[in-house]
Amino acid sequence: MSTRYQSLKGFRDMLPEESLRWQWLEENIRDLMRRYGYGELRLPLVEATELFARGVGEGTDVVSKEMYSFLDKSDPPESLTLRPELTAGAARAWVQHEIGKNQGLTKWYYLGPAFRYEQPQSGRYRQFTTFGIELIGSPLPEADAEVILAGVDLIESLGIRNYRLRLNSLGMPEERAAYRTALLEYLTVKRDQLSPESVRRMGSNPMRVLDSKKEEDIATTADAPKILEFLSDDSRAHFDRVRGLLDTAGVPYVVDHRLVRGLDYYTRTAFEFQGLDLGAQDALGGGGRYDGLIEQIGGPATPAIGFGFGMDRLIIAAEAAGAIPNQQANLDLFVVGLGDSARGWAAQTTRTFRQAGLAADCDLLGRSMKAQMREANRRNARHVVIAGENELAAGIAQVKDMQGHDQKEVAIAELLNVVMELRAAR
């Protein structure tokens, strides 16, 4: 008995009908990035494991539990990892190619797959597609505001209106260290009231306890110290300026002290977009400032900020809003050839139409005229060109309008010109 292979858990096939919706999303993203002046960055799927251990943080769930890592065949073998996120790779590329020597400010965006070993849920897969931007080189609050507003403009360009922007500041490393100490003291006293997962996180990353969705953790941390109370004057002024810029832009937001993000490289501004029609799995995307990451992986001290969006979640949210247009791969025309020589003519004529820039197809199964016309209907062809052996001998073909149902006889020598005129007149 032969084996029927299936896609792996957390991985999926995307058939052409679904791909059309993704193409719509990608076109919106690329248009937005063109207007914002960001260039596309394409990165390897595989990086050195050490890049993520140093950049993302060994104590994070991503590095400690979720990465797909393996030893390659070099001697000695090197540990490699399928990228779980793209910011660390973007920072590595910026350092490797010495981008800072040639330009003061870098604006990059990327679209591509990433991989995490986690429990599949609605809009969450082990292979998922990320859209992100990185603005490297500016420490100013105006850079933070631009990145956040790019996220706002993306969401609204997709027709998503029911969303929330959460905002927080994580301070600089020394401020966060003082806060972590105070938070750990608070949590230690409340240890018996926390979930087992939060007790585990206390030892590696106590701030992640604030991000827990478990009821006992939410109740226990209700009176926990807030990181905004530990900010320096500079960090507070930075955060106030970001908020002021968003206020001026008319963008509503909620300051949420529980927003800590899951990666170690964040500093100061952190933000997240929630889709309010998505239920429990409501995170559309988010990001923040990471002023220490580039130095952490061997580059010069360089400020930077960026975000990442899960494209599956964006598709789900846009569908919930009824914003995705009806996507069909319509044909300009379908060529019907009846008989052996007519089938060869149909194939050559179809190629001529394609070379002229038209979406054209023909039958490759030797079907009857009735079956070919059904196929033309199924493919939403606007026009059908029909010829049999007798028509070819006479140098003519029939052109049928599939919407108006008009049909006329056309000389084969004039066929391309007539079809192009009909298309232009639509």
Pair (129, 237) in one structural domain: yes
DSSP string covering 293-327: HHHHTTS----EEEEEEEHHHHHHHHHHTT-S---
On whether residue 194 sits in a domain, the answer given is no
Amino acid in the structure at residue 383: H
* Among candidate residues 289, 320, 351, the one where a domain is terminated: 320
On whether residue 242 sits in a domain, the answer given is yes
On whether residue 11 sits in a domain, the answer given is no
Pair (121, 258) in one structural domain: yes
**How distant is the alpha carbon of residue 230 from its chain centre?**
34
CA dihedral 161, 12, 271, 29 (to 10 degrees): -60
Quote the CA–CA distance of 340 and 151 in Å, as a whole number.
56
Pair (146, 284) in one structural domain: yes
pTM of the complete model: 0.88
On whether residue 74 sits in a domain, the answer given is yes
Name which of 423, 348, 422, 420 is nearest 387 in CA terms. Answer: 348
On whether residue 208 sits in a domain, the answer given is no
* Among candidate residues 259, 286, 320, the one where a domain is terminated: 320
Provide the 10 A C-beta neighbour count for residue 113: 14
Pair (376, 262) in one structural domain: no
What CATH number has the domain bearing residue 347?
3.40.50.800
Amino acid in the structure at residue 400: K
pLDDT score for 260? 82
On whether residue 188 sits in a domain, the answer given is no
Pair (292, 348) in one structural domain: no
pLDDT score for 146? 98
**pLDDT per position in the chain (426 positions), as tens?**
578 899 999 999 999 889 999 999 999 999 999 999 999 999 999 999 999 888 777 667 777 788 999 999 998 999 999 999 999 999 999 999 999 888 889 999 999 999 999 888 777 889 999 999 999 999 999 999 999 999 999 999 999 999 999 999 999 989 988 988 898 888 888 888 888 888 888 877 888 888 878 888 888 888 888 999 999 999 999 999 999 999 999 999 999 998 886 666 788 999 999 998 877 778 899 999 999 899 999 999 999 999 999 999 999 999 988 888 887 778 999 999 998 889 999 999 999 999 999 999 999 999 999 999 999 999 999 999 999 999 999 999 999 999 887 899 999 999 999 888 888 876
On whether residue 10 sits in a domain, the answer given is no
Quote the CA–CA distance of 349 and 177 in Å, as a whole number.
71
Q: Domain of 304?
A: 16-172+232-320
Amino acid in the structure at residue 63: V
Pair (292, 367) in one structural domain: no
pLDDT score for 262? 60
pLDDT score for 419? 87
Pair (253, 374) in one structural domain: no
Pair (148, 243) in one structural domain: yes
Pair (341, 298) in one structural domain: no
User: Where on the phi/psi map is residue 63: left (φ > 0), alpha (ψ -120 to 50), or beta?
Assistant: alpha
pLDDT score for 264? 66
Provide the 10 A C-beta neighbour count for residue 186: 16
Pair (407, 352) in one structural domain: yes
* Among candidate residues 287, 320, 353, the one where a domain is terminated: 320
Pair (314, 338) in one structural domain: no
DSSP string covering 172-229: -HHHHHHHHHHHHHHHHHTGGGS-HHHHHHHHH-GGGGGG---HHHHHHTTTS--GGG
Quote the CA–CA distance of 292 and 381 in Å, as a whole number.
55
On whether residue 294 sits in a domain, the answer given is yes
User: Exposure pattern of 321-338 as b/e (b: 16+ CB <10 Å)?
Assistant: beebeeeeeebbbbbbbb
Name which of 273, 246, 261 is nearest 162 in CA terms. Answer: 273
pLDDT score for 1? 57
Beta partners for residue 269, in sequence order: 169
Task: Please give the helix or strand (H or E) that residue 136 lies within, else none.
Answer: strand 127-136
Pair (375, 402) in one structural domain: yes
- Say if residue 3 is exposed, middle or buried (CB neighbours under 10 Å; 0-12, 13-18, 19+): exposed
pLDDT score for 263? 62
Quote the CA–CA distance of 219 and 144 in Å, as a whole number.
32
Let me know the angle formed at the C-alpha of 287 by 135 and 223, rounded to the nearest 5 degrees: 140
pLDDT score for 99? 94
What CATH number has the domain bearing residue 53?
3.30.930.10
Q: How many domains does the chain have?
A: 2
